[in-house]
Structure 1
Amino acid sequence: METFNEYHLNPEEFPFLKSFQDNWQEIRDEFTNFMQQASDEELKFTYEILGPKNKTIKTKGNSKYTAFGILFQGLFIEEYIQQHQIQYPDYASNEVSEKALVLREKYFSNLAKVIEKVNFSNDNIIRNVYFGIFHPGLDVKLHVNYNPHMNRGYLGLIVPEGDIAMKICHDKLYWHEGKFMILDHSYPHCPHNYTNYDRVVLVIDFFKPDKPREEVIRFEKEQVTQRMQDNPYSLGVFGKNDQAQVEDFIKYGLAHQLEWDKAL
């Protein structure tokens, strides 16, 4: 039986996530269909435009983590691009949002409907929704995601057997297809995929329900403003303060990783 604590949270405490879990196979099928049927041009656009880029979180070795999604800071991707007037060097400014909308409606209509349903009934509690792909051999260095106003849910879509885990504080947690792992990502963590296959999850960031809504909205607005100034291609998901501090390494008995970092 799973045990839960202040950073590994019980999914049953967040009933608004049930709609995602009930539709997990349809969501997985949309992802698989996209990867199999999208043209080279569509794939290129997706990875360049629909994926949040970070400049802070690093990996060990050459294996990569890729992500792309349709909802950022409570807005569908085409609305987010328009609101923040993001400019992309390889695309005309007036076509990016239109292309993003076409892709979302063509490949991810079921996922969009679930998001709309949940947010309509729960005062826009869902903030980010994107697919996260751990490629074989991925080993992410210790970091935090400085989002004290949100929790992060991972809905397992494609999880091969083997050593694919999230190390957070003193725990080593595992993903399972069709089930949620809910974390408070403000705690230091470092995931890995030591298998020969991709791991795919649906990442869902949502406001902490026990915090006053006005407070978390205000914090999100200030945080996203700063992150977009630093890196507009982060889509507000990643920022400079995602780096783990020396105290984090020591507190959780991970001083050996600190020494490894210093040696680079």
Structure 2
Amino acid sequence: MANFNEYHLNPEEFPFLNNFQEKWKVIRDEFTSFIKQASTEELKFTYDVLGPKSKTIKAKGDSKYSAFGILFQGLFIEEYIQLHQIQYPDYQTDEASEKALALRKTYFPNLAQVIKQVNLLNEDIIRNAYFGTFHPGLDIKLHVNYNPHMNRGYLGLIVPEGDVAMKICHDKLYWHKGEFLILDHSYPHCPHNYTNYDRTVLVVDFFKPDKPRAEVIQFEQEQVAQRMQDNPYSLGVFGKSDKAKEEDFIKYGLAHQLEWDKALGV
């Protein structure tokens, strides 16, 4: 029996996530089919354009975290690119938007349909939806995601056996295939993958249902504007405020990580 608290939340409290969970195998198969079938050019474009980039969150060693998705701040990726008129080194805005739309329709129609259904019935509660892969050996420094208006759900898609986990405050939590792990990411956390295999989840960020909707929308708009000004390739997901403070390491019993976190820098 899982122990839930203020930062590890019970998925049963968020029934709108059942739509994703019921289709988890279909969503997983869309991801694996894309990885296998996409051309080199499509893969490059995907990780260049569809993946949220962070200037703050760092990893120990050479292992990487890769991510790409189709929904950001409640908009499908092609709409988000157009709204913010994002300029890329290798793609014009219109070209990037068109390519993103084509990829979404070709490879992720079922995921897109689930998002549409959930948001139609729940006042656009889903804000971000993207695939996150921890490659073998990954060890991410302690950080926060300063999104007090949202919770973050991880739907397990490809989860190897072994030590691939999320350390958050005083807990070490594990992902499971076909199940959601729901966290309040405003608490300090540091995930890792000490297995020899990739771990992939669908990250689903959603508004906290108990917060007034007008209030959280206003906060999101202000936050995204600041994040996009600082780093347009963040897609509004990450920002400068995600850096953990030194007192976080001490308060949550993670002081042993402080030295190598300092060595990694900002």
| SS state at 1:166 partner | strand
Deviations 1:40-73 (A, max 9, x none): 0000000000000000001010000000000000
Residue 161 of structure 1 aligns with which residue? Answer: 161
| SS state at 1:155 partner | strand
TM-score by length of 2: 0.98
Asked if residue 80 in structure 1 is aligned to residue 80 in structure 2, the reply is: yes
Quickly say closer, same or farther: Cα 1:262–1:36, change in 2 above 3 A. Answer: closer
d(CA) in 2 for partners of 1:185, 1:158 = 22
Residue 209 of structure 1 aligns with which residue? Answer: 209
Distance apart, 1:262 and its partner CA: 3.5
d(CA) in 2 for partners of 1:130, 1:25 = 16
d(CA) in 1 for partners of 2:233, 2:33 = 26
| SS state at 1:195 partner | coil
Residue 17 of structure 1 aligns with which residue? Answer: 17
1:80-119 alignment, distance < 5 Å = 80-119=80-119
Gaps of 5+ in 1: none
1:1-264 alignment, distance < 5 Å = 1-263=1-263
d(CA) in 1 for partners of 2:191, 2:251 = 18
Tell whether the 8 Å contact from 2:142 to 2:261 is kept in structure 1 after alignment. Answer: no
d(CA) in 1 for partners of 2:14, 2:27 = 19
**Residue type at the aligned position of 1:44:** K
Q: CA RMSD in A?
A: 0.7
| SS state at 1:200 partner | strand
**Residue type at the aligned position of 1:68:** F
Tell whether the 8 Å contact from 2:82 to 2:93 is kept in structure 1 after alignment. Answer: no
d(CA) in 1 for partners of 2:216, 2:175 = 28
Tell whether the 8 Å contact from 2:156 to 2:179 is kept in structure 1 after alignment. Answer: yes
**Residue type at the aligned position of 1:146:** Y
Deviations 1:91-130 (A, max 9, x none): 1232110000000000000000000000000000000000
| SS state at 1:79 partner | helix
Gaps of 5+ in 2: none
Deviations 1:186-236 (A, max 9, x none): 000000000110000000000000000000000000000000000000000
| SS state at 2:214 partner | helix
**Residue type at the aligned position of 1:56:** T
How many residues were matched structurally? 264
d(CA) in 2 for partners of 1:39, 1:71 = 22
Distance apart, 1:260 and its partner CA: 2.9
Distance apart, 1:261 and its partner CA: 2.9
d(CA) in 2 for partners of 1:62, 1:88 = 25
Distance apart, 1:263 and its partner CA: 4.8
d(CA) in 2 for partners of 1:155, 1:262 = 31
d(CA) in 1 for partners of 2:30, 2:222 = 34
**Residue type at the aligned position of 2:261:** D
